[in-house]
């Protein structure tokens, strides 16, 4: 199963925390940051 998700945050720290939680919780591949 494959899915595409997106995170929108207002700060870099929040983005890093959310990305870290996702990578630890599931098999996630971080594609990019814009």
Write out 1-34 in H/E/C secondary structure: CCCCCCCCCCCHHHHHHHHHHHHHHCCCCCCCCC
- Domain span at residue 23? 1-34
> Per residue in 1-34, pLDDT tens?
788 888 888 998 998 898 889 889 888 887 877 7
- Total tally of structural domains belonging to the chain: 1
pLDDT at 26: 85
CA 14 to chain centre: 10
pLDDT the model gives residue 3: 81
Structure tokens at 28: 């996630």
What would the two tokens of residue 24 be?
A: 């630890």
Whole-prediction pTM:
0.62
């Amino acid at each position: 199963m494959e899915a595409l998700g997106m995170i929108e945050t207002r700060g870099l720290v929040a983005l890093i925390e959310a990305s870290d939680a996702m990578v630890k919780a599931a098999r996630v591949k971080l594609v990019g940051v814009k």
